[in-house]
């Protein structure tokens, strides 16, 4: 099919949302569209949305409003809004009233049907389809771009955990695991086109394969991915602490290409708050998992997510979260103020925390973690680390940048010809977020 139409795809939210956006772009490519970054010349604009936090929603609504002006300048452009924000209960009618200039609304459960929906839009129809339940697993592999070093690969969809603050299970459905052979085939295709690092994605990768018979779990999948020729590195996100098995930790410890990095969201250091969040583990159990990682993989990098200001969080609860930072020694933490999400249990809880208290606690938490991050990186000064060269540094194009197996960003002088390969870098400087070194 001749490609003469242009599509601009905008993704908001997590890596899974980004991966979904890549999939949608691939579907449009098969219908004759060329990917573009220029909104003014686009024939189709896709906005793949997120609803995890209110700030993300507000940003997306602002962008949808901007697209109304684009539509006024170019009445032929088609606008499609997809993803989690559309999938929320009772959201569709509200969004349609707010943005009548949008041509297509579709949720997360009918992603695979996007091609048919788009063809209806191209014929002049306004389309709004949001399924309440997923009916199939999408098996559309995004175009493996030549020379693309890194790629995200979905291994499963949905979540069964129903944390009281989280809208994800309501908009992405229950857990469904992709077949191992489909995943391995996709990774091999990526590698054949030059990809050297993959990140395996799931809301809880540790739950992968629970529905399979005979038994086959995430550790089994990692062992197979680890054997793929010419692949250099394998990462994964996100691990739910309650399902982090000894087998999985041992698999990473024994792997050749499996990166020594665990993103293990604690969310709170208080057992009371963890119970209110429905996280299904205690701080003691979480620390036992951290200890196991440190025992088997002493150089492992550990990152986390933390929410401050959850309903009912006292100063004592918050202090326990601060104490957790000093016990777990995270190399990095992604910190957030609690954001009320309609449709979740936490949104109805009493004792909602005032905004000024949440802001104060967030600033304190960030201050403690910044010091932890700095100390973690300062401990790397003098060490020789393996770095996958990604390209010129975003902050200094005269230098190169890349990441360690522990996902640490390193900036160094080097040759452009080394992009895509592994180099050994001696670390000589460290900041809170970046390492600076010299190739040896």
The DSSP output letter for 156 is: E
CB-CB contact of 32 with 62 (8 Å): no
Q: Which residue has the tokens 């209806």?
A: 120
224 and 79: one domain? no
Helices vs strands, H then E, count in the chain: 13, 19
| Crossing angle for the helix pair 246-254 and 218-225, to the nearest 10 degrees | 10
189 and 240: one domain? yes
Helices (H), 31-124: 54-73, 84-87, 91-98, 114-122
CA 405 to chain centre: 18
Q: Which of 376, 397, 425 is the last residue of a domain?
A: 376
Is residue 261 one of the residues assigned to a domain? yes
| Beta strand segments in 50-93, E | 78-83
401 and 268: one domain? no
Q: What residues are paired with 333 via a beta bridge? A: 304
Kindly report, residue by residue over 88-143, the tens digit of the pLDDT.
888 888 999 999 999 999 988 888 789 999 999 999 999 998 887 776 665 655 55
- From residue 183, alpha-carbon distances to 139, 155, 179, 190, 241 in Å are 9, 7, 7, 11, 24
Give the phi and the psi of residue 391 in degrees, each rounded to 5. 150, -170
Residue 163 tokens, joined: 């944390």
Give the phi and the psi of residue 124 in degrees, each rounded to 5. 100, 5
Domain of residue 389, CATH code: 2.40.50.140
pLDDT of residue 134: 72
268 and 333: one domain? yes
User: Domain limits at 330?
Assistant: 150-376
pLDDT of residue 145: 56
Q: Are strands 409-413 and 400-403 parallel, antiparallel or unpaired?
A: antiparallel
Q: What residues are paired with 336 via a beta bridge? A: 307
Kindly report, residue by residue over 30-89, the tens digit of the pLDDT.
899 999 999 999 999 999 998 887 788 889 999 999 999 999 999 999 999 999 999 988
CA atoms within 13 A of residue 115's CA, in its CB half-sphere: 11
Is residue 136 one of the residues assigned to a domain? no
63 and 162: one domain? no
Q: Which of 321, 346, 376 is the last residue of a domain?
A: 376
Is residue 137 one of the residues assigned to a domain? no
Which residue ranges in the chain fall short of pLDDT 70?
A: 1-3, 135-147
Domain of residue 288, CATH code: 3.80.30.20
Is residue 405 one of the residues assigned to a domain? yes
344 and 428: one domain? no
The number of folded domains in the chain is 3
The DSSP output letter for 195 is: -
423 and 308: one domain? no
Domain of residue 105, CATH code: 3.40.50.12160
Is residue 145 one of the residues assigned to a domain? no
> What torsion, rounded to 10 degrees, do the Cα atoms 254, 299, 420, 27 define?
70
pLDDT of residue 383: 96
Collect all residues with Cβ–Cβ distance below 8 Å to 55 and sequence separation of at least 6: 339
155 and 78: one domain? no
Is residue 141 one of the residues assigned to a domain? no
388 and 300: one domain? no
Provide the residue count of the chain. 440
CB-CB contact of 368 with 325 (8 Å): yes
Is residue 69 one of the residues assigned to a domain? yes
285 and 413: one domain? no
166 and 95: one domain? no
Is residue 144 one of the residues assigned to a domain? no
Which of 118, 34, 56, 55 lies closest to 81 in space, CA to CA?
118
Q: Round to whole Å and give the CA distance between 17 and 93.
A: 22
Q: Which of 96, 129, 162 is the last residue of a domain?
A: 129
Q: What residues are paired with 236 via a beta bridge? A: 200
34 and 169: one domain? no
Which of 54, 52, 47 lies closest to 101 in space, CA to CA?
47
Helix, coil or strand: residue 436: strand
Q: Round to whole Å and give the CA distance between 164 and 292.
A: 28
The DSSP output letter for 4 is: -
pLDDT of residue 1: 47
């Amino acid at each position: 099919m001749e490609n003469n139409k242009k599509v601009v795809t905008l993704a908001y939210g997590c890596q899974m949302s980004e991966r979904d956006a890549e999939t949608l772009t691939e579907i449009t490519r098969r219908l004759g569209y060329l990917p573009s970054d220029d909104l003014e010349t686009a024939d189709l604009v896709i906005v793949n949305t997120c609803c995890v936090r209110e700030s993300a929603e507000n940003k997306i609504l602002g962008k949808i409003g901007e697209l109304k002006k684009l539509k006024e300048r170019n009445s032929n452009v088609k606008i499609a809004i997809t993803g989690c924000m559309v999938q929320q209960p009772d959201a569709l009618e509200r969004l349609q009233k707010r943005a009548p200039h949008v041509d297509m609304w579709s949720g997360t459960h009918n992603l695979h049907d996007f091609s048919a929906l788009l063809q209806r839009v191209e014929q002049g129809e306004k389309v709004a389809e949001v399924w309440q339940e997923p009916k199939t697993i999408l098996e559309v592999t995004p175009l493996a771009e030549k020379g693309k070093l890194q790629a995200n690969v979905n291994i499963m969809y949905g979540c069964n955990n129903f944390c009281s603050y989280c809208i994800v299970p309501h908009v992405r459905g229950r857990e469904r695991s992709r077949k191992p052979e489909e995943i391995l085939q996709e990774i091999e295709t990526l590698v054949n086109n030059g990809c050297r690092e993959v990140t395996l994605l799931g809301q809880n990768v540790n739950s992968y394969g629970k529905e399979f018979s005979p038994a086959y779990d995430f550790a089994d999948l990692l062992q197979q991915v680890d054997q793929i020729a010419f692949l250099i590195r394998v990462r994964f996100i996100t691990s739910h602490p309650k399902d982090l098995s000894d087998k999985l930790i041992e698999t990473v410890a024994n792997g050749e290409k499996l990166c020594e990095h665990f993103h293990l969201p604690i969310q709170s250091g208080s057992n009371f708050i963890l119970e209110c969040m429905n996280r299904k583990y205690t701080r003691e159990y979480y620390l036992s998992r951290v200890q196991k990682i440190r025992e088997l993989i002493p150089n492992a990098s550990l990152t986390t997510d933390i929410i401050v200001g959850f309903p009912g969080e006292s100063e004592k609860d918050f202090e326990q979260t601060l104490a957790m930072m000093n016990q777990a020694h995270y190399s990095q933490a992604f910190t957030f103020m609690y954001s009320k999400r309609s449709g979740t249990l936490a949104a109805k809880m009493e004792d909602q925390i005032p905004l000024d208290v949440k802001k104060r606690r967030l600033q304190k938490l960030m201050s403690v973690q910044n010091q932890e991050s700095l100390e973690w990186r300062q401990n790397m000064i003098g060490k020789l680390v393996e770095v996958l060269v990604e390209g010129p540094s975003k902050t200094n194009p005269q230098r190169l940048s890349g990441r360690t197996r522990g996902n640490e960003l390193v900036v160094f002088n080097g040759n452009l010809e080394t992009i895509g390969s592994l180099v050994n870098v001696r670390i000589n400087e460290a900041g809170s977020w970046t390492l600076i070194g010299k190739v040896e």
